[in-house]
Amino acid sequence: MQITDKAQCDAWYQALLDRASEYTGLFFVGVKTTGVFCISVCRARKPKRENVVFFREMKSALDAGFRPCKVCRPTENACSAPAFIEQALALVRANPKMRISDALLREQGISPERVRRWFLQQHGITFQAFQRMSRVNVALQELKGGRSATDVAFDSGYESLSGFGYTCKKLTGAAPSVGQQVIMIHRFTTPIGPMFVCATEQGVCLLEFVDRRMLETEFSDLQRLLKARIIAGENAHTRQAEKEIGEYFAGERQQFSLTLDLPGSAFQRRVWQGLQMVPYGQTTHYQALAECLAQPTAVRAVAAANGANRVAIVIPCHRIIGKDGTMTGYGGGIARKAWLIAHEKNHLIR
């Protein structure tokens, strides 16, 4: 929704004039004279105060009819990690089994407080919690590779096997074991907003925009259905998803080769498979989809299964529109749905 508090808007306008990087992603400014929306660090010529409106969420700016600025590219850069976060993450990647302390961050010229605030804002957890999840992820992969729990625990920086077991059980819901399953969750950016991808060892089980309604319910359902906990981390499937989605948005990919791990009923899976048969650059409606599935009277059931889809874009529920050609609901928002349909039509190979 649009923010109307004058003091707040005046502060944000000053941040826009100052190109204040610490406000990146905290607000979005719509410019009424040009129809675009920007983030605080935009280099474009500054609009007058009376010509701007402010939003807390990117989705609100899109829903209000503003399009992304081509200078600051807010949908790509608003939630991208700033340099100090990339620096902190580089330390984690270079030392996957080591705890990166606040003191070590300060030695590298990084403010632990800024890192903590960014992680809380973007991920809902602290940097230290993120590290614990990442270390447990590495440890579980080593357990699956045949290493003993004792060796893995001490090699991962734990002072005792019981400490490792406690942390693992707290994060994953079970004591460390060779057959234990977890769901990796990774966040990445796209031209129309950041997305979460979740994957088990078997494949991708969720791909959604981070502001999708009912996302917390989807997380809870996944953990219940797969009997696994969601923890921060990456695996081959999350990396492949980020790569293929990037190619899709670049107009370079029309078909996906991702391996999917989709808990659901037999009917839901049939509907999801039917959605994947809707050609790139085309649209259809529930009645036509039900007829393709040889169940013409199951229109409502097809619609419900479509709404239960947890893998956006790859299972293209955005290609379902009203029978009369109107835009129907979409978990990621009608503005994104329209953008995706237009994007595919613009890149359709004739």
Residue from 288, 273, 278, 295 nearest 322 by CA: 288
SS3 (DSSP) at 153: helix
Q: Are 171 and 133 in contact (CB under 8 A)?
A: yes
SS3 (DSSP) at 241: helix
Q: Residues 289, 295, 299, CA angle at the centre, nearest 5°? A: 60
Distance between CA atoms of 166 and 164, rounded to whole angstroms? 5
Reduced 3-state DSSP string for 242-291: HHHHHHHHCCCCCCCCCCECCCCCHHHHHHHHHHHCCCCCCCECHHHHHH
End-to-end CA distance of the chain: 40
* Burial degree of 168 (CB within 10 A; 0-12, 13-18, 19+): buried
Q: Are 233 and 134 in contact (CB under 8 A)?
A: yes
β-partners of residue 227 are none
Q: What is the DSSP letter of 82?
A: P
Chain centre distance of CA 342: 21
Label residues 85-108 b or e (16+ Cβ within 10 Å = b).
beebbeebeeeeeeebeeeebeee
Q: What are phi and psi for residue 131, nearest 5 degrees?
A: -60, -45
The two tokens of residue 232 are 């921060």
Q: Is 69 a catalytic residue?
A: no
- Known catalytic residues are 317
